[in-house]
């Protein structure tokens, strides 16, 4: 038996484009309306539609070929906008970009192999499925900031969930809008007249990335605090009534499903047509892809993805990072405490920052695959680098300038050293700094290169130019570019 979208099977969808697997991309199989069949003209009684005078009155998207997802009159005209020196020309139809937090590609493959994601499998068959490279540190704030700005951290300034503020010397959460050094494409889309909705599971993302959306007539709220949404501050009153149920528990898969339910409801009600829907990775931290709980969670996500497709959305999806088990053979977390290690060898010469740190410690215990090391003045940097590089489980030790160049990070918001670990290893500060009792069933975490490659899905086939780009080195923060500019069914 073979399964749609499964990387372990020999069968691949032939009606769409797939860059994963031995057979490469397949033909898109589009139904195009021949240009010579009749004269098309603007129907003044139906703004934004065209008429085929030879076949009778037929509604066809303005500037677009016939699409299987477009039936009925258009609701408006596509507008272009620019954000951070990138131009976006979204289709007139609703656009919904999803960040499936913590979604390593195997979560989708396994779920589709078990028949749990039929809508997503169909999306892959008809559209595009591939991989993209995320940002390192592969943490939530960093990558979500890149996705909504379209640029790397060196431009937007967010280098972690948590950092040592050089202006104050304090360790702080990087979850306030003033830390963002450029605007977002969400506010640019709102300025261009799109009905923007930014819905996230985690409140911390709303606060750092949602600034300016509501003042431009958009909607921004989190499922974590949906009951606190107000028109003045979130662009909507009674957000719970949109979904039809009350606030979900943040430490649950339901917190993610709720985001997609809210997004679909806003599209169905005509209240949003340009959406960014960012989920939470609680389930990925808790369960491997083959766990029954994970399979049922992805089935619930798939139901809502199908709902967005049914509502006429162009759906695109990626992730902020993947996820890996970080445990020893006995099941205990496989941790290297970097500050303790350095203190034992050199004395108190270093301050280690764990940039994965955020309010959701139940997810990861503030243990990730990358840490920042701030050295005291006069510390023997070369000796420290050599010592750390010799430790089993540590894969890279980069100086500030190397990390800024190789990882595209803002140099003033990272450590003197940036240290990364192997696939099954996490890095911490000291044993006293991390409460491992909050972890249940072992540790699954992220932050390094082994969680950098993430899914990259679009519900429509790509143009030839964008398909070529997808075969090279696409980034997860290119997802809005691909969705707005690169799909074949929405290009003339």
Between CA 335 and CA 330 the distance in angstroms is: 13
Between CA 3 and CA 38 the distance in angstroms is: 41
Least-confidence region, from 18-27, 296-305, 308-317: 18-27
In this predicted structure, the answer to whether residue 14 has a pLDDT above a threshold of 80 is no
Instruction: Report the pLDDT value the prediction gives residue 70, as an integer from 0 to 100.
Output: 36
Dump pLDDT digits (tens) for 424-443. 999 999 998 887 777 677 89
Between CA 397 and CA 376 the distance in angstroms is: 17
Give the CB-side neighbour count of residue 367, counting CA atoms within 13 A: 34
Instruction: Report the pLDDT value the prediction gives residue 367, as an integer from 0 to 100.
Output: 93
Instruction: Report the pLDDT value the prediction gives residue 171, as an integer from 0 to 100.
Output: 83
Instruction: Report the pLDDT value the prediction gives residue 360, as an integer from 0 to 100.
Output: 65
Question: What average pLDDT does the segment 245-254 reach?
Answer: 96
Dump pLDDT digits (tens) for 71-96. 333 344 568 999 999 999 999 999 99
Between CA 376 and CA 84 the distance in angstroms is: 36
In this predicted structure, the answer to whether residue 490 has a pLDDT above a threshold of 60 is no
Strand pairing report for 335-337 and 426-428: parallel
What is the residue whose two structure tokens read 């899914």? 455
For 89-158+165-323+454-490, CATH gives 3.40.720.10
> Residue 61: helix, strand or coil by DSSP?
strand
Question: What average pLDDT does the segment 208-227 reach?
Answer: 97
Q: How far is the CA of 317 from the CAs of 172, 323, 480, in angstroms? A: 30, 17, 9
In this predicted structure, the answer to whether residue 226 has a pLDDT above a threshold of 80 is yes
In this predicted structure, the answer to whether residue 358 has a pLDDT above a threshold of 70 is no
Instruction: Report the pLDDT value the prediction gives residue 247, as an integer from 0 to 100.
Output: 97
Dump pLDDT digits (tens) for 197-207. 999 999 989 99
In this predicted structure, the answer to whether residue 110 has a pLDDT above a threshold of 90 is yes
Structure tokens at 399: 């100086």
Dump pLDDT digits (tens) for 145-173. 999 999 999 999 999 888 888 888 888 88
Q: Output 415 or 169, whichever has higher pLDDT.
A: 415
Q: How confident is the model at residue 251 (pLDDT cuts 50, 70, 90)?
A: very high
Instruction: Report the pLDDT value the prediction gives residue 359, as an integer from 0 to 100.
Output: 60
Q: Output 186 or 359, whichever has higher pLDDT.
A: 186
Structure tokens at 337: 């405490």
Between CA 286 and CA 293 the distance in angstroms is: 9
**How many Cβ atoms from other residues are within 10 Å of residue 351's Cβ?**
18
Structure tokens at 96: 């919904």
In this predicted structure, the answer to whether residue 214 has a pLDDT above a threshold of 80 is yes
In this predicted structure, the answer to whether residue 342 has a pLDDT above a threshold of 80 is yes
In this predicted structure, the answer to whether residue 351 has a pLDDT above a threshold of 60 is yes
Q: How confident is the model at residue 392 (pLDDT cuts 50, 70, 90)?
A: very high
In this predicted structure, the answer to whether residue 481 has a pLDDT above a threshold of 90 is yes
Query: What residues does 139 pair with on adjacent strands?
Result: none
In this predicted structure, the answer to whether residue 377 has a pLDDT above a threshold of 60 is yes
Mean pLDDT score of the chain, rounded to an integer?
85
Between CA 125 and CA 5 the distance in angstroms is: 7
| Helix, strand and coil in the chain, % to nearest 5 | 35, 20, 45
Question: What average pLDDT does the segment 102-109 reach?
Answer: 98
In this predicted structure, the answer to whether residue 66 has a pLDDT above a threshold of 50 is no
In this predicted structure, the answer to whether residue 483 has a pLDDT above a threshold of 80 is yes
In this predicted structure, the answer to whether residue 40 has a pLDDT above a threshold of 60 is no
Instruction: Report the pLDDT value the prediction gives residue 363, as an integer from 0 to 100.
Output: 54
Contact 461, 315 (CB under 8 A): no
Question: What average pLDDT does the segment 323-340 reach?
Answer: 95
Instruction: Report the pLDDT value the prediction gives residue 168, as an integer from 0 to 100.
Output: 84
The domain segmentation of the chain, as residue ranges, is: 89-158+165-323+454-490, 335-445
What are the residues whose beta carbons fall under 8 Å from the beta carbon of 32, sequence distance 6 or more?
A: 65, 66
The CATH class for the domain spanning 335-445 reads alpha beta
């Amino acid at each position: 038996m073979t399964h749609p979208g499964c990387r372990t099977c020999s069968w691949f969808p032939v009606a769409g484009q797939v860059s994963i697997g031995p057979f490469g991309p397949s033909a898109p199989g589009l139904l195009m309306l021949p240009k010579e069949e009749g004269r098309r003209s603007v129907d003044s009684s139906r703004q934004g539609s065209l008429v085929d005078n030879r076949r009778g009155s037929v509604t066809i998207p303005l500037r677009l070929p016939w699409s299987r997802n477009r039936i009925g009159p258009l609701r408006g005209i596509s507008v272009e906008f620019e954000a951070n020196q990138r131009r976006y020309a979204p289709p007139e139809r609703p656009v919904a970009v999803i960040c499936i937090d913590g979604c390593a590609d195997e979560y989708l493959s396994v779920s589709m192999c078990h028949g749990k994601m039929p809508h997503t499998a169909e999306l892959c068959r008809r559209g595009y499925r591939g991989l993209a490279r995320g940002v390192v540190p592969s943490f939530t704030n960093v990558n979500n900031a890149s996705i909504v700005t379209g640029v790397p951290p060196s431009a937007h300034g967010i280098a972690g969930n948590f950092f040592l503020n050089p202006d104050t010397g304090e360790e702080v959460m990087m979850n306030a809008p003033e830390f963002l050094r450029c605007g977002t494409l969400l506010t640019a889309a709102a300025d261009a007249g799109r009905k923007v909705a930014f819905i996230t599971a985690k409140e911390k993302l709303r606060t750092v990335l949602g600034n300016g959306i509501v003042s431009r007539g958009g909607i921004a709220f989190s499922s974590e605090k949906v009951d606190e949404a107000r028109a003045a501050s979130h662009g909507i009153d009674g957000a719970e009534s949109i979904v039809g149920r009350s606030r979900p528990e943040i430490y649950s898969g339901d917190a993610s499903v709720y985001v997609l339910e809210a997004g679909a409801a806003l599209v169905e009600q005509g209240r949003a047509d340009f959406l960014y829907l960012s989920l939470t990775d609680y389930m990925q931290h808790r369960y491997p892809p083959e766990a029954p709980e994970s399979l049922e969670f992805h089935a619930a996500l798939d139901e809502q993805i199908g709902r967005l497709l049914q509502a006429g959305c162009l759906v695109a999806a990626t992730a902020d990072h993947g996820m890996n088990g970080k445990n020893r053979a006995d099941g205990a977390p496989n941790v290297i405490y970097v500050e303790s290690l350095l203190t034992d060898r050199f004395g108190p010469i270093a301050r280690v920052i764990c940039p994965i740190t955020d309010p959701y410690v139940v997810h990861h215990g503030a243990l990730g695959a990358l840490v920042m090391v701030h050295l005291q003045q006069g510390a023997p940097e070369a000796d420290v680098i050599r010592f750390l590089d010799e430790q089993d489980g540590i894969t890279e030790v980069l100086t500030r300038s190397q990390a800024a160049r190789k990882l595209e990070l803002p140099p003033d918001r990272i450590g003197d050293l940036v240290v990364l670990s192997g696939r099954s290893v996490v890095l911490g500060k000291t044993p006293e700094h991390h409460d491992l009792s909050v972890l249940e069933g072992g540790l699954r975490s992220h932050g390094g290169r082994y969680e950098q490659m993430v899914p990259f899905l679009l519900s429509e086939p790509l143009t030839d130019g964008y398909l070529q780009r997808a075969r090279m080195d696409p980034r997860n923060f290119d997802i809005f570019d691909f969705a707005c500019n690169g799909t074949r069914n929405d290009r003339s």
